[in-house]
Chains A and B, each alone.
Chain A
Amino acid sequence: MWVYVARRLLLAVPIALGVTVICFGLVFLAPGDPLASLIPGDVSPADLAKMRQLYGFDKPIPVQYALWLGRAVTGDLGVSLQTGRPVLAEVTGAIGNTFVIASGAVLLAFSLAFILGTVAAYHVGRPADRLATAAAVLGVSIPNYWLGIVLIIVFAVKLNILPATGMGSKGSTSFNILDWAQAKYAVLPIITMAMVPLGIIMRTTRSAVAEVLNQDFVQMLRAKGLGPVAILRHSVRNALPQMLAVMGLQLGYLVGGSILIETVFTWPGTGFLLNKAILTRDIPVIQGTILVLALNFVAINLAVDLIQTAVDPRIKRT
């Protein structure tokens, strides 16, 4: 197993490097001079030439990449053109907020998907299965940015029981999920975000549990006279690692893809930051946010693989 862990860790290195190459290359996709997109517009030509030298834009591109990577590794992702603050501080300030709703959404999705998926697996082909499967398809088909708007209409505008947008009191830096006055702001974003993972985890659960139920040892348990609850305990235990792996991957997708939902709910996370940066063409912030989110996704994938190897002895990986 340790050989696998070492190999998997080593495998993540070229992927992470590739991610940095793409993020570095993004600046060159921007129309116009890459340097001009990194600094404010009202700079004199003399200063621009100085900056070009300082940032190394007069050097060949591979050298530029090495210099940029060197700075990025030390946490220097440039400075926001809008706020003048370091990009890293902007991103780290926002990513916690994204994790709040993303982890809430994954937990909600997992608990619902667990119930729906298990029920469906026990009734394959019967109405309960059809209904649960239909719910799963609906979950992955619904445009969640639209669902967010509909939920705002119903719960904020019509019923007026939940706040529509924002993250509670202005300027508060810490988010306390146990304080309802604050937590209620997270309810609608979490529900909206949970839809896609709900559909995907439910499908995985259904097929994983149904597969276990078809195995010989379940026949054996039945023959021994075990009741449905005891059989459920055995089958879920066997299906759980796969479900947890999907859940982990979904967390990665949600944290990286939060832009639409955070825009709908003006939730001040990384997606909101990214959207703001795109609207104002704040290239350093776009680049930095994407780099952090993509590396975070690589790290979550790595963690999921390693945890799965650790908890599931059936997976013999070398």
Chain B
Amino acid sequence: MSDRGITIADLPDVPENPAALRVRSYWQTVRYRLRYDYVTLFFLAVLALVLMTALLAPELAPFDPTKTSTINRMKPIGYRDFLLGTDELGRDMLSRLLWGGRASLTMGCGPVALATLIGGFLGIVAGFIGGRVNMAIMRIMDVFYAFPSVLLAVAISGILGGGMANGMIALTLVFIPPICRVAESATTQVRNLDFVEAARASGAPALSLILHHVLGNVLAPIFIYASSLVSVSILLASGLSFLGLGVAPPTADWGLMLSTLRAALYVQPLVCALPGAAILIVSLSFNLVSDGLRRAMDVKA
């Protein structure tokens, strides 16, 4: 826990041999700091667990997530073999929650990964070349900034029509501008540093300047920023499915389940609350892990 800005890791070790003071590398320092950040480690474990259950859904799910049953509709938690009850069509909730994790995690993480690639590329190009190219790219990004993220996502996927692919396109477009901005400002800072200037003066071509000198120095802030977007992305993706703009039925998805279960709110309120709780756990975990990584990697917000 390093809320005071200084952690145990910042204090030098007592050297065994004072003559040869061991200096930790950056990544060793990061690992060292993370080792004592129990909150981050705990939520990292939660994420790993969720990811595992989503990957192993076919093995773990006790029932077929799409098999409906008229007589077993809206059963409470713990009814017969249905550990977490059944939904409004008599489908097993536990199986649907496990399978739903696949869709929700894909739709939440996929757009951030894509946007990191595209936005990161655009931002590094804009920052490295500067001048008019920078102007052109960044002013276009400014326009996308003029839309609240929910509105932009809903607008694009609403016009394109529902479906998981369209939802992911919409979310990717939402996240490109902010990532591009972070990449641009990080690159602009780095490219004016002396060592880049020195490499340029010694005749290194632009590509090798970017690959060897810029990239390594801008990846950490881009990565940290992108990791903080995953939680937002999960919430937005589930929100789109909730509105009927994301994953299409009968595929299981947490947001979609939440929306279809609304009809049964008065019958089995507890069962209806389950998909939302799943979204909350995942989004909370991503938020806290991202914060922990930011502290460990010592990147300014």
Contacts and interface: CB of A to CB of B under 8 A. Distances in A.
Interface string A133-169: 1000110111101110110110001100000000000
B19 to A, nearest CB: 36
Interface string B142-159: 111011111100111011
A17 to B, nearest CB: 8
Q: Which of B142, B149, B239, B288 has the most CB of A within 10 A?
A: B239
B231 A141 contact: yes
A19 B143 contact: yes
For B144, B244, B265, B277, the residue with the greatest tally of chain A CB atoms inside 10 Å of its CB is B265
A275 interface: yes
B243 A260 contact: yes
Interface in A214-254: 252-253
A301 to B, nearest CB: 8
Interface centre among B4, B148, B262, B275 (most CB of A within 10 A): B148
B86 interface: no
A190 interface: no
Nearest to A286: B158
Contact of B276 (A16, A129, A149): A149
Nearest to A300: B148
A294 B231 contact: no
Main secondary structure of the interface of A (DSSP, over half): helix
B139 interface: yes
Contact of A150 (B143, B243, B276, B284): B276
A315 interface: no
A30 interface: yes
A150 B269 CA distance: 8
A278 B146 contact: no
A145 B242 contact: yes
Contacts, number: 142
A264 B266 CA distance: 14
Interface residues of B, number: 47
Contact of B284 (A137, A147, A279, A294): A137
Interface residues of A, number: 53
Contact of B287 (A141, A275, A278): A141
A189 to B, nearest CB: 15
Contacts of B272: 149, 153
B258 A145 contact: yes
B129 interface: no
B273 interface: yes
Contacts of B273: 146, 149-150, 153
Given A29-B159, A143-B238, A149-B273, A257 B149 contact: yes
A52 B120 CA distance: 41
Contact of A286 (B155, B258, B276, B279): B155
Contact of B280 (A143, A260, A297): A143
A278 B158 contact: yes
A312 B97 CA distance: 50
Contacts of A27: 159
A316 B133 CA distance: 29
Contact of A19 (B147, B269, B276): B147
A259 interface: yes
A66 interface: no
A116 interface: no
Contacts of B58: none
B188 interface: no
Given A15-B143, A18-B143, A149-B258, 13 more contacts: A30-B159, A153-B269, A157-B266, A158-B269, A253-B149, A256-B148, A259-B154, A260-B239, A277-B158, A294-B147, A294-B148, A298-B146, A301-B146
15 contacts: A15-B143, A15-B146, A141-B283, A141-B284, A149-B258, A149-B272, A253-B148, A256-B148, A257-B149, A260-B243, A263-B242, A278-B243, A290-B147, A290-B155, A301-B146
Closest 4 CB pairs of A and B: A146-B276, A18-B143, A257-B150, A256-B148
